[in-house]
Structure 1
Amino acid sequence: MDEMTRLRELRADAPVPDRADLAPGRKRLTDAVEGRSRRTFRLRADWRIASLGAVVAITAAALVLTQVVGVQAPDPTSPATVAGDLDLSSPAAALGQAADFLERQEVPPEPRADQWIYLRQGSPEQEKHWKELPAEIRDQTRWSYSPDSWVPYDDKAAENDTSDTDYRTARESYRIAAGLPEDPEALLAELRKVFPSGTGPEGVPETRDAHSFRALTVLLESYPLPPDALARMYRAMATIEGVGVTGHLIRDAFGRQVIAVTRAYDRNTRREILIDPVDYSYAGRREAVIRTHVVYGPDDSDGPDRTVLKRGDILSDIARTGAAVVDAKGQKP
């Protein structure tokens, strides 16, 4: 039995917890009326809390604003640490190691047109706060909490909907990834074309590097992706100016140890892409406060909507615990 098989068996008994893509002020839209839903891993063009002040005002009744109490040291018995060879000294080292591993994996066949993509993702805090909302509010909102989602792999109706320039169906994403060039600079240039900047009603100005990071992340959250394509994406990510990696594993929303690839969004917050340290699959994303600052309500006053965000606060923490290609909607692996 090889080392990777032993590592996976070590984590085989770990429970798969509930989760859903429900962030502060940005929960997943469930399109039940149309009989389909957008992928929970889609990101808007600004991949941020569009107006942090507005979000804090909306969520001032205590939605998901969690303060980090400290980074836990890696558990020496965890699967990630047992591997013992993780190099987190730099983005090039960590993402290059991930790419090396993925390039050795067999590329599975592309899903069939009649298959479905199953995802399970979210956080315990999101579920808790959703359940605490009064029933009348839950009934009136367009948003809902659901730990599981299914989308058709071949969704022609969604492919023909051009209203959201960041949204791609599972099949579109798979084929975009499979066709990406080897050269990191050319790969990022292609993704900037696929996911344009500053378009649509929510478009915001972006620097070239911010655009590259956001565009790559939109595709990274797709499922499935060919492992060789994912390897090219990781190598390209390491070349983006401002990208970093924590020098240690961090804990995600469910306490799993993960690699965190980071990039500042602005002077106050940063984005963190979470990667499984065993098979290097996408494991989630976080938004963290890197500078203590004050956020005011809609009237910019020192009223009840005024909130102090402290360095280390986590504004959103979305972890993915399940992803699979299945034969029917409602089926779980």
Structure 2
Amino acid sequence: MVRVGLHNSHEQVHPSALLAATQQAEQRGFDAAMCSDHWAPWSAGQGHSGFAWTWLGSALASTRLPFGVVNAPGQRYHPAIIAQAAATLSAMYPGRFWVALGSGQNMNEHVTGDPWPEKDVRDARLVECVEIIRALLDGEEVTHDGLVTVDRAKLWTLPDVKPLLIGPAVSPETAARHARWADGLVTVNQPPEKLRAIVDAYRSAGGRGEISLQVHVSYAPTADEAFELARSQWAGNAVGPPLAWDIATPEEFDAAAKDLPDEKIHEAVVVDHEPARMAERVAELAEIGFDAVYLHQVATDVVVSDEKHPHATATVTPAPSSLEAFVDLAAEHLLPVLKQVRA
């Protein structure tokens, strides 16, 4: 059966509210959780970006759920630091932690002041980082001189159960490359034909482990409210690659998303005001070949004024408890349907 998890968007919701929602999700029958790892939000209107690794310690300590995080080693994070962080969480919470390792986005990485590399360089740098992290988790002393530099690094606290190193992909090409090193794959909702291509590319290239799907959804009581919530909160994400990898600030994302066609929003977000229909639509995506589905309600706890953020079109302002309300709705209407899908 497909496992159902809750995605925690640090870009949109205060970390305390995310923690409360995750604890509630465990009580209501969710099987797992994951979170983003951003320096900045996708839009100035989202208004948050808590530190994922601090939050993960609290989340793992206060629930019994397995957790994952999507991370980009190589620039903002040195791979030895990520290896140490992942090893410590895995040592404390055996078998409950995984980390997805990607090539990153300029929005999160430019804060170091280092130049933002071209995509082929970023991809090569990621492979180096994965090799370094694996070697450290194996207990080796690592010295490396390449796109990243490591000098005589060794982890002194190793986990009994190593964390899975997952490959995040939004294209078949990236999925196939990740199959060379990843313990599993995670992607995000896109048109079904593209999701099938991603799954097929990973498996055809010999990809092992489970494949997970993070599904952005926008639920509100009416169709108009649900769509306006999706546009105001997730249009920046819907801009998509390659532009999304190179934009440097939330304000630039707002500008790029200002005139985004409605159909692009619908490609990036499952928008619906009828819970039963939303459950069916997400189940259809899960049936493509996913072992786990992580639900992300695209809501924020920040009140946005048009004067402060002129590019934001937030006609819907969810209350701080909106994520917890979605957890209740999902537990009643989505989980019973999704958990019937066979992985």
Same fold by TM (over 0.5)? no
Greater RCO (Cα-Cα under 8 Å, separation 6 or more): 1
TM norm structure 2: 0.28
Q: TM-score, normalising length from structure 1?
A: 0.29
Structure richer in helix, relative to its length = 2
